[in-house]
Amino acid sequence: MTKPVCADAFLIRQRNLKNDYYSYTFGPFPGVEQCRPGNFVHLRLPSSDVYFRRAMSVTSVDKKNRELEILFRVVGRGTSILARYQKNDPIGILGPLGNSFSKPRKKEIAAIVAGGVGFPPLAYFAEHLVNGGFDPKRILFFYGGKSASDIIERGRIKKMGVRFHPMTDDGSFGRKGLITQGVEEFLRDGGNQRVRMYACGPEAMLRAVDDLGLKYRVPGELSLEAPMPCGIGVCLGCIVTLRKGGYARVCHEGPVFKIGEVLL
Ligand SMILES: Cc1cc2nc3c(=O)[nH]c(=O)nc-3n(C[C@H](O)[C@H](O)[C@H](O)COP(=O)(O)OP(=O)(O)OC[C@H]3O[C@@H](n4cnc5c(N)ncnc54)[C@H](O)[C@@H]3O)c2cc1C
Ligand code: FES
């Protein structure tokens, strides 16, 4: 578990990725040193309309320049405020928070399953693995969205050299269908390769990946989202039920949980 830092930083770079997706880089933020793939930050937005901070997964860090990237899609009040941010605007950042993904073993295939705005923590994870010497050909990057405009940062994924498997509901980019159908085909036909799955995305997708992991006895990890008022384990607003009984806080024991661990 990391020791979070609470500090103001400034918007250094912004990229409009179209279809309401944005990449923002903030800095200087002293907490970047401790960031790991799967961690998130809690952002304090300068508006009386938005009382609670908003959680955003860390998408990349530049430790030398103490910069941190987030990637978000505008869906409500908080993200609408963020979308109006201008260069050099300040933001309060608390983080890094939560736990992180564990590395696949050397001989394993890492099957990454990203759905929609579940992409950011998995992009960070895949880049971290590749930069750490993990063979990119042993990383399968399944990425699903409703249509082509939901499959963002394609150049970034291709640059990593991973095996990219995009799918869209309407077939406008990649194969047509649900991403979990592609994942199931791979698990069913993949022979006796040792696979570890890593998923982040909509609840229904996570439930399907969880079911696949249990059905095909494939281990892995799911990064969950939950309403997150405090982000530091105090308010119990982000509780999930565990299969073995009891509860866990997504912000503190998570957001990354093992396949089969949480009652989804
Ligand atoms: C650990 C963690 C990591 C996260 N990482 C990211 C990230 O990297 N990028 C990112 O964009 N978001 C991420 N989120 C979600 C983010 O924290 C916000 O909940 C989300 O962006 C909506 O905030 P808002 O203030 O714009 O919407 P609100 O005003 O809070 O909600 C407005 C409406 O949007 C709906 N809504 C809320 N979230 C979503 C969603 N994800 N998709 C569709 N509708 C939604 C709500 O149900 C509500 O009806 C993460 C959440 C958690 C818990
Ligand atoms: S958000 Fe408060 S305990 Fe998790």
Co-location of 63 and 144 in the same domain: no
- Please give the number of the atom of ligand 2 that sits closest to the Cα of 231: 1
Co-location of 15 and 45 in the same domain: yes
Residue 196 lies in a domain: yes
Higher pLDDT among residues 82 and 106, named by residue: 82
- Six token digits for residue 238: 């982000």
Co-location of 26 and 76 in the same domain: yes
Q: Tell me the CATH number at 168.
A: 3.40.50.80
> Does 228 sit in the ligand 1 pocket, CB within 6 Å?
yes
- Please give the number of the atom of ligand 1 that sits closest to the Cα of 227: 53
Range 62-83 average pLDDT: 96
Tens-digit pLDDT profile for residues 55-68: 999 999 999 999 99
How many Cα atoms occupy the beta-carbon half-sphere of 7 within 13 Å? 16
Co-location of 177 and 149 in the same domain: yes
- Please give the number of the atom of ligand 1 that sits closest to the Cα of 238: 53
CB 23 within 8 A of CB 14: yes
Co-location of 76 and 136 in the same domain: no
- Residues 194 and 199: their CA atoms lie apart, in Å, by 17
The whole domain housing 185 covers 110-219
Domain boundary among 71, 97, 123: 97
Number of domains in the chain: 2
Co-location of 88 and 175 in the same domain: no
Q: Tell me the CATH number at 37.
A: 2.40.30.10
Average pLDDT of the chain to the nearest whole number:
95
Co-location of 209 and 123 in the same domain: yes
Tens-digit pLDDT profile for residues 15-44: 999 899 999 999 999 999 999 999 999 999
Domain boundary among 72, 97, 122: 97
How many Cα atoms occupy the beta-carbon half-sphere of 29 within 13 Å? 34
Give the largest CA-CA distance in the chain. 55
Q: Which pLDDT does position 46 carry in this prediction?
A: 80
> Does 146 sit in the ligand 1 pocket, CB within 6 Å?
no
> Does 72 sit in the ligand 1 pocket, CB within 6 Å?
yes
> Does 111 sit in the ligand 1 pocket, CB within 6 Å?
no
- Please give the number of the atom of ligand 1 that sits closest to the Cα of 74: 26
Range 144-156 average pLDDT: 97
- Residues 30 and 34: their CA atoms lie apart, in Å, by 9
Site to probe by mutation for ligand 2, drawn from 235, 240, 253, 257 as the one with most ligand atoms within 8 Å of Cβ, is: 235
Co-location of 198 and 121 in the same domain: yes
Tens-digit pLDDT profile for residues 159-201: 999 999 999 999 999 999 999 999 999 999 877 789 999 999 9
Residue 244 lies in a domain: no
Co-location of 21 and 73 in the same domain: yes
Site to probe by mutation for ligand 1, drawn from 61, 75, 225 as the one with most ligand atoms within 8 Å of Cβ, is: 75
Percent of the residues in the chain that have a pLDDT greater than 90, as a whole number: 93
Domain boundary among 47, 68, 97: 97
Q: Look at residue 215 and tell me whether its pLDDT is greater than 90.
A: yes
Q: Look at residue 48 and tell me whether its pLDDT is greater than 70.
A: no
